[in-house]
Each structure stands twice: as C-alpha cells, then as structure tokens.
Amino acid sequence: MGNEMKDLEKVKEIGIRVQHLVPDSLPKSGLKRMQYYVSFDDSPNIFHLGLSKGEPVRFEVIQSMVRNGVLVELTSSFLLPFDMDVWLSSEGEIVIASAVAPFSDNNRRVVARPRQFDRIYVEVEEQMARTPRPQIDRFTKVPQK
Amino acid sequence: MKDLPYGDIFYELLGKIHAALAYCHLRYSKNETLSEDDQGINEIFESFSKISPYRISGLNSHIVKGLTLGDAKRQEQNLYPRLSKLVIYTYLQAQSSKRDKKYKAEIIPSPLNILYHALTVPNEPQSAAYAYVLCRSMLFFFLQLHPKLSGSNSINATYSEFQEEDILRSMNSLGNYSRQFARWPDKRQGHEKDAARLNYLLGHILALKGFFYLWFSANDQLINFCNVNESNLQSDLYARYRNELKESEKYHFRLSGGFHDMPDSSEVLNWIFGIPIPIRGADLLFSGGLKRSSNSGLVVSMHGQPGTGKTSVALALASVLSPFNTQTIYITLEESPEDLRTRLNTLTPSYLKRLSIYENNYNAISRKANDKYSLSWFHPYEFRGVKSLNDLERVLQLVSNKIEGAVSNKSPEEKGENLLPAICPLLLVVDNINGLLSNRDIGANSYYDIEQFVKGCRDIGAIVLLISAEGIPERYNLDYLVDVALCLKQEGIESKYEKPVRILQLTKSRHQLSRQGSHVFHISNDKGLRISPQVPSQLDKREKLRIQLPSKKMVVNALNFHSRDGESIYYNFLNVAENSQILIHGYGSSGKAGFGLKLLMTPIFESRHFPKSMSGKSIKKYPIGNRRVNKVMILSFLYPDEYYQGLYDRIVAQFDKMFDGYDRAKAIMVVKSFYPGYLTPEDFVNKIVRMLEEARLEGEPFTGILIDGLHNVFLQFRYLQDFHMIWPLLYNMLSRYSLTVVSTSTNFTLNQGVSAGDAVGNAKGGVLPEDLLLMQQGQRPFLHGLVKAADYFFLLDEESSETGDKRYMISVRSSIRQAPPTDRLRWDRSELVIIAEEKGGESQ
C-alpha cells in the first residue's frame, strides 16, 4: 500500500499534511526553504520527503528520527496548499508561502513559532562551530614493529 | 588513528624481557647467583634503543631508571636498572615456589607480567591500568580474539568474538586443575580451535596478573620460548603467545606460589571486559574494571552537596582516561569552558604529565606550537538555554549526531591496518542537571520522561556521567535508572575542630561485581584524585594472596650476637625465624625502637651458617657472601625521620665491623612518620600497603616493617583508636607479604594506685574509674598485637642497681619452634648491643 506514485491530479484533490520538519540553522535575514515530510489524508501512516517521488517512509521510522533529533515534530499538523512551500524566517518562525515568490505572497502565514528546543538547536550549532569538533577514533592501532 | 598506550615500545621491551629471562635461567640453572649488579643482564636492557627519546626528554622515567648511567657510575651510586631488578626478583620468586629440587619441570613468570610491572609507575600503582590495556589488547591481537561488539562497530573478520559465557566455561575447566598445582590447559581440553585459544587468552591474562606461571616440561623448551629473534620480533612473539609452536614445544600454565586460589570469576570478567580506571583505589572499587552494558553505553550518576567535589571527580576522570584515546565532551550548564580548562590542568596528576602517553602540549614529544593551552581531547561546551530534561536530551542527541559525522567509520579492512576497537572512545559529562529535575512540575509522565532520558543517554554508546545535587525528590531519583550510582559526601565540616573528610559512596553497579560502600577520597594537591577504599575491602583484595609462614630456613641472629668489651661473639640464644611477627613490650624508654630496628637490620643467614658449635666464638670480618637486601619500613607514631637515622647509622657501623663485604647500600631504611590528628584507618592502611607494593614494583620489596609505638595511637590518633579492628586487619594483611613484622608497645601507669583501683568505682590513689576505662581502651592495640602478632614476644624490663644505674633486661615470653629461654639478656640502649653476661659465652 502506498508504494505507487501519487499522480498530480490526485494530489491536488486530497489534502497534504505536514507535521515533521528537518531542523535547520536560522537564516540571517529573509526566508530559508525547509525540508519536510508530508503525508496524504488517504494514507496518514505513509510519509514522503517533500513531494518527492522517492521511497515512502513508515511512521515508525519518522518517530525514531524525531527521537534522534533528526526531525522536529510540530504539536499539530497543518494543511499545505499544493502551490505553497514551507519556509523558515530569521526569527525561527515557520511560514507557509508561495513556493515561487514567498515575499510577494499575500497568503503568507506563520504556522508555527519557535519553541525552546529550536533555540537550543541553534545554540548547539553555534557552539560546535566555535570550537573544533572532536575527532573520535573508534579504533586504535596495534603497534607494528 | 592512535597507538595503544606505550604501543611504541611494546615489541622491543617484550623481546628484551624474553632475553633477560633466558639469561637469568641459564645462570640460575648453573647454580650461579643472580644480582642486580650483574653486567650481563644490564647489557641486555642497555641496548634498548626505542627509549632513547625518553632519556633526553625526561619522560617515562620509570622505564629509563638506572639505564642512563654508565656501568662505573652505577656502582658508585648504587642505582641499578629497575628493569633488571624486576626481572631478577620476579624470576627468583617463581623459582622459590618449586617445592624441592626434585621438581623436574621448569617454571618462569610470564614475560607479560614483568612488562606489566615495568610499565607501571612504582609510586603510582593505578598507572598499571595503561600497561594492562596494552597487554590485554596485544593478547587480543596475538590470539585473534575479541569480546563481542555491538551495533555498528565491527572488527576485522579474522577475529573470533567471544562472550562472558565462553570465559566462564574456560574458568570452570581451570578451577579443577589449579587446586592440584597441575598444569593447564591439558591436551584433552579445547578440541575446538576457538576454545583452545580462549583458554590461552585466559591463562595469559591470569599470568599477567601474577596468578599463573608458565610451565615447561624441559629446559630446552623454556630456552626456545625465551629466545626471540631481534630482527623478526613481531612474528616470533606472535607465534609464542598464540602457542603456535611444535607439539613438543608447547607450554602450559601453573598456579603461582604467591596465591593460594584463583580470583573470583566475576573479577576475571571485569578484567577481560571492563575498562580499568587509572585512579588510585578505583581498581579496588570496581574489582578490576568498569563494565559497560551490552550496547557499549554506560550511564553513571553522581550526586552530592555543593563543594563535595563532583566537578573535580569528573574532570579528573577525563584526564586519566585520555591516554586511552578517550575524547571527553563536557557539557556544562553553569560554568564557563575556560574555567573548566584551568581546573582540568590543576586536577591532572603530576606524574601523568611526565609520561609519554599523556598528550599534553607542554609534553616535549607531542608539542604543538600554535594551540598552546587547549588539550586536543577535552571539549567543553556551555549551554545555558537548557530549561528541561527534554531540552537536554535533544542537546545530547544533537551533539552526538554532530560527532558521528567526525567518527572515522571505515571498517578495519578498508584501512588495511591492524586495528582494534578503542577501549572507551567517548566520555560525556553533563554538569549538572539539578535544576532540570527539581523545578519540574510533578506530573504523571515525569518519571517516564526521566526514564526515556536515561535510555537516550545509554544509546549514545559512551560513558555518560550525569552530575546532580542531592535533594532531588525521591520519585525522580536517578539512581534507580542509571547503571552506576555514586554519591559524594563531606563529613566533619560542621565542627571546627575536625578535619573534613571526603567520602565517596558507591551504591550501585548494575553490570558487574564491585565493592559498594563508603570510601574515603582526596582531590587536593598534585597527586590528583585518589580513593582510599574502606579497610575490609582492602583486605578482601588480598584474600587470595598466600599467607607467608615464618621461614624454617632463614634466621635472624640478632639475639645471638653479643658484645663483650667491644668485641662481637656468637652465643646461641634464640633463632628468630624470618617472616615472623614479633612484639616488643616494655616500660618507659628502654630502647625498644633500637632493639626492633636492630632485629630487622641484622643480615639474614640460613640457619646452617651458624651451627651450635660456633657458640662462644668471636665474629670479626665474618664472610657475608652474596646476602639479600634488608629493606625496612618504619611506621612511626612518635619520632621523626632523624631519630631513626641516628639509630640506623650506629647499627650499620656495628655490622660493618662484624662482617666482611658488608654493603651499606643493601641496608635500606624508609621512615613513614604519622603526625597526631585525624588520620583515618583507610588512609593508614592504604599508605602502608601502597609503600609495600611500590617497593615490589621497584624490584626491591621490603623485608621488614617496624611499627614503633602502638601505644601512641592512644588518644592522639582519634580515628585509629576508635576503629581498633584496624590492627588485626593490618597484621593479617602484612602476613601476606614476606615480611618480618616488629611492633613495639609501652604500658601506661598513672601512679601506683592504678593497678589497685577497684572496679566498682571507688577511686584509689587519685585515679578515677573513667581514667581506668580510658587506659583499658589504650591497651587495645597492644592486646591485638599480643593475640595476632606475637610469634615472638619480648619483654624489656627496667632494673635499678644499687648504685642507681638503670639496666634493661630482655626476657623472652614466647617463641615458636623453640622453648623460650629462661635466661635474660642485658640490652645496652646507648650502644645498641646485647651485653654478654659473665656466666654466658664459652661455658655454654
């Protein structure tokens, strides 16, 4: 189930839901396009990266990615109109707006505001950038004569 | 990709030790004496080329010790290579455990055992952990075996993996053999190839720890084992430790003479699977090593009140683990990274900074000019935005994800090198989670959240150290969830008269055997973090050591050498056996310390040297032969070093006159004086035992110990007086080392009334019953000595002659193997000699 590709017409009919976003560092100004997983209302347990035609992903996998901090789960999902995309503002707000011209879009609206965690993500990024990353060797050399 | 600690010198040093053992064996089998001034053995180590950088830089002085001097200078300064001393001492000890001359087979200590001791810094026994990791990893490599790895870690396909069950099976088969002094493994065992290799791994690990000797059925086999080709070291050693020799050349293991039983199997598991922690006392605490959970993660919680040293313990752990190539990520929620770096420097023990294995930028070998102050293995991060446990979990995950990218994930095959998994690649410290736990709104899911958090930590696959304060609500207590729980405390801070003592409580260790309970620890000064484990557990560790009974062969003749008009004569009075425990009791200052010291300093001879027919003959320039070293430790509760130095000089001068070829350098005295106050029993025992073991590691063990002034513990050493059970424990422990123990004690008398005082409470002669009670308590150490440590019991009486001169008389109250003589001897406390009485001497 769900393995077949969604064709364009069908996608336009059914709702596209977004709840899982790939976290990213904040842009200094303007908007930054985000990566996200979508599900369709007819099969809520199957996810796709963006509107890609790639491998479908099961809900369990999404959950594990959320646990590992690879994905951010919003408290509730939102409907994404077909011609719009998800953007990240410099304040950490998540915005949906036109996929082509987000700034001139009058329908632009904020769907989520940053929680505590998002700030921490940025903080970790900054700290890691400031100090050199540890080089962890999982192996040691056996001495050779 | 880094080397194992000391990996650079492993092959060459092991090759040298093989050669030295072969040399020792050749000399010994020709009945020639072995001593440290032997040119041959020193030459073997002098050609040790790999250590030449250390000679220049001053690093690793424990290995280089004695090698830098020329031969002439060496004799002048009496400083012989530590390596030679170690080899000779260990070799001779193995030979002495042969029961008699008829024992045809040959036994030697494992060369790895000598290497292990050689790489250990003598006065820092915890540094054995580095040497141990090297030896263990090399055994894994030689035998192509490795403990099973989990998750994404993989090891070269040529290795076979094993688990705890396999080791236990091997231990079982061994148990039956070791009790009968039989060799192991024999041909019937280990038909499967892996099982045979596993047996050899276990055997080598136990031989490395000194529990086993290598057993050869004939001389040729031994020589063949020891002779390795210098140009072909690696493959030669590989073949020997794999035991891939011809069937007729194979060797086996035999229980060593120093132990009467095998170690506990759970301790062996800690040795093989655990991480040995290079902190003094931690070896005892975790019974040999800290074991991780099956997914190689471990969550440790540490809590304590402010100022108990939580951060210091964490930083000290980071610094001592760094030679294992352990990277430390320190996540702090309150301190600045700069401060942590500074503190880390002061908490790193100074001995570690002088080793080549410690990567420090001041270290001459690995100096980097550009980044002078940062250590490449320490990464502090400060996150002030963390407000809840969820946040923290995310932070840890994010950090560990970031690191994953940097991990060299290439499999060993791809690298084309011989690689072994690092023993502990990552230590993650979180300092601290107080606020996150205590400020939470209590909800139904809170406990579940904490559980999830701990699980998340464990999944990182590192040692995660969570620091928290005391006073977390009981229901959030992390101790239920974590693998190892530590609690730090400070006692005696309320009273201004007491010295505060830091206590480390180990309350839980989930995966392994450990010694739980309260242990004293210290963090001040440049020795770094060190733990003095509780007294019973210190004894516990030495339980398997064989108790050394008084020697039947070697004799201390101190009571047989008398003096008449400044001349020494021999008079057969009482032979005191070596390794016995002696108690000297007397009233007042009768020269007990001098007498005790003389007993211990007297050269030890075999009993056949002075037959009864010698009685009455004068001793002048008596040939002493190649005598053993007399090395005496003095535990003083009263006098400082100088007092004993005076006694020592006079005693040595006497022997110099008496014996031909007497060498002062072979009479060594070490004084440890304790000052009155708050010495804890743990520290007291720990100090003594440490000195004993340090001397063994130097290759020059103590032969005697003088505990001078048991009575001085009375009132002045509060904790020692309260915990009087220390004395039997101490005497028991000392009996497991080959030591002649002399204790001295004095009785107190307030005045004549004391002995007549009546028990009901009527004071007589101005003595109160309370005083009497106090006095009785003061007698406890003496009574313990009487019960436990009195193979010989001497009484020094004071006598006043008619002219008012005082004389001191020695009488023997009890003695072993011989009826105590009824005569008394006169002891001259100023000359430190026994005066021959008129009636004695020739007439006997």
> What residue in B sits closest to A138 (Cα-Cα)?
B422
Chain B residues with CB under 8 Å of A117 CB are: 390-391, 394
Q: Is the pLDDT of residue B757 over 50?
A: no
Give the model's pLDDT for residue B34: 83
Q: Is the pLDDT of residue B778 over 80?
A: no
Q: What is the pLDDT of residues B95-140, one digit of tens each?
A: 888 766 677 788 899 999 999 999 999 988 899 999 999 999 999 9
A27-31, B100-104, B149-153, B836-840: range with highest mean pLDDT = A27-31
What band does A117 get if pLDDT is binned at 50, 70 and 90? very low
Secondary structure of residue B701 in the 3-state scheme: coil
Give the model's pLDDT for residue B242: 83
Give the model's pLDDT for residue B191: 57
Cβ of residue A134 closer than 8 Å to a chain B Cβ? yes
Kindly report the backbone phi and psi dihedral angles of residue B203, in degrees, each rounded to the nearest multiple of 5, phi listed first. -60, -45
Residues pairing with B467 in the sheet: B302, B431
Q: What is the pLDDT of residues B374-400, one digit of tens each?
A: 678 888 888 887 777 777 877 887 787
> d(Cα B415, Cα B269) in Å, to the nearest integer?
31
Secondary structure of residue B832 in the 3-state scheme: coil
Percent of chain B with pLDDT over 90: 21
Residue of B606, B534, B468, B391 lying closest to A121 (CA atoms) = B391
> What residue in B sits closest to A123 (Cα-Cα)?
B383
Contact B234 A144 (CB under 8 A): yes
Secondary structure of residue B651 in the 3-state scheme: helix
| Residue pair B144/B159 in contact by the 8 Å Cβ criterion | yes
Q: Closest Cα of chain A to B379: distance in Å?
A: 7
Residue B818 amino acid letter:
Q
> What residue in B sits closest to A118 (Cα-Cα)?
B391
Secondary structure of residue B185 in the 3-state scheme: coil
For all residues of chain B together, what is the average pLDDT?
A: 83
Q: Give the B window 358-397 contacts with A, CB below 8 Å.
A: 377, 379-383, 385-388, 390-391, 394-395, 397
> d(Cα B67, Cα B490) in Å, to the nearest integer?
45
What band does B844 get if pLDDT is binned at 50, 70 and 90? very low
Cβ of residue B332 closer than 8 Å to a chain A Cβ? no
Stretch (H or E) spanning A67: helix A59-67
Q: What is the dihedral of CA B825, B742, B726, B671, to 10 degrees?
A: 130
Q: Closest Cα of chain B to A73: distance in Å?
A: 13
> d(Cα B199, Cα B770) in Å, to the nearest integer?
63
Quote the pTM value: 0.82
Q: What is the pLDDT of residues B501-550, one digit of tens each?
A: 899 999 888 888 898 899 999 987 788 888 988 888 888 778 888 888 88
Q: Is the pLDDT of residue A71 over 80?
A: yes
Structure tokens at B498: 């007491």
Out of B383, B390, B422, name the one closest to residue A137 (CB): B422
Q: Closest Cα of chain A to B112: distance in Å?
A: 16
Q: Is the pLDDT of residue B706 over 90?
A: yes
CA pseudo-torsion sign A43, A45, A51, A56: negative
Helical ranges in B98-218 per DSSP H: 111-118, 128-143, 164-178, 193-208
Contact B401 A68 (CB under 8 A): yes
Rounded average pLDDT over B1-11 = 86
Q: B396 CB contacts (<8 Å, ≥6 apart)?
A: B331, B428, B430, B456, B457, B460, B464
Q: What is the ipTM of this complex?
A: 0.75
Cβ of residue B407 closer than 8 Å to a chain A Cβ? yes
Q: Is the pLDDT of residue B179 over 80?
A: no
> d(Cα B615, Cα B561) in Å, to the nearest integer?
10
- Residue B185: asked if its preceding bond is cis (omega within 30°), the reply is yes
Higher-pLDDT residue of B250, B505: B505
Give the model's pLDDT for residue B537: 83
Out of A120, A134, A145, name the one closest to residue B329 (CB): A134
Among A120, A139, A141, pick the best mutation site for testing chain B contact (most B Cβ within 10 A).
Answer: A139
Out of B3, B399, B426, name the one closest to residue A143 (CB): B3
What band does B450 get if pLDDT is binned at 50, 70 and 90? confident
> d(Cα B343, Cα B113) in Å, to the nearest integer?
36
**3-class secondary structure per residue, B430-474:** EECCHHHHHCCCCCCCHHHHHHHHHHHHHHCCCEEEEEECCCCCH
Give the model's pLDDT for residue A114: 67
How many A-B residue pairs are in contact by the CB < 8 A criterion? 129
Secondary structure of residue A142 in the 3-state scheme: coil
> What residue in A sits closest to B376 (Cα-Cα)?
A134
Give the model's pLDDT for residue B360: 63
> d(Cα B16, Cα B227) in Å, to the nearest integer?
10
Chain A residues with CB under 8 Å of B419 CB are: 139-142
Q: Closest Cα of chain A to B422: distance in Å?
A: 5
What band does B632 get if pLDDT is binned at 50, 70 and 90? very high
Residue B115, Cβ density class (10 Å: 0-12 exposed, 13-18 middle, ≥19 buried): buried
Q: Is the pLDDT of residue B440 over 60?
A: no
Cβ of residue A75 closer than 8 Å to a chain B Cβ? no
Cβ of residue A130 closer than 8 Å to a chain B Cβ? no
Q: Give the B window 137-156 contacts with A, CB below 8 Å.
A: 137-138, 141, 153
Residue B744, Cβ density class (10 Å: 0-12 exposed, 13-18 middle, ≥19 buried): buried
Cβ of residue A113 closer than 8 Å to a chain B Cβ? no
Percent of chain B with pLDDT over 70: 89
| Residue pair B90/B111 in contact by the 8 Å Cβ criterion | no
Q: What is the pLDDT of residues B474-486, one digit of tens each?
A: 666 777 888 999 9
Structure tokens at B719: 């904790």
Q: B70 CB contacts (<8 Å, ≥6 apart)?
A: none
Give the model's pLDDT for residue A1: 39
| Residue pair B149/B161 in contact by the 8 Å Cβ criterion | yes
By residue count, chain B amounts to: 844
> What residue in A sits closest to B7 (Cα-Cα)?
A143
Cβ of residue B486 closer than 8 Å to a chain A Cβ? no
What band does B765 get if pLDDT is binned at 50, 70 and 90? low
By residue count, chain A amounts to: 145
Give the model's pLDDT for residue B273: 93
Residue B802, Cβ density class (10 Å: 0-12 exposed, 13-18 middle, ≥19 buried): exposed
Q: B143 CB contacts (<8 Å, ≥6 apart)?
A: B197, B200, B201, B204, B241, B242
> d(Cα B599, Cα B742) in Å, to the nearest integer?
8
Q: What is the pLDDT of residues B319-360, one digit of tens each?
A: 999 999 888 999 888 888 888 888 888 888 888 888 888 876
Q: Give the A window 1-60 contacts with B, CB below 8 Å.
A: none
Q: B155 CB contacts (<8 Å, ≥6 apart)?
A: B146, B149, B161, B412, B419, B420, B421
Give the model's pLDDT for residue B767: 63
> d(Cα B680, Cα B556) in Å, to the nearest integer?
34
CA pseudo-torsion sign B274, B277, B278, B279: negative
Q: Is the pLDDT of residue B151 over 80?
A: no
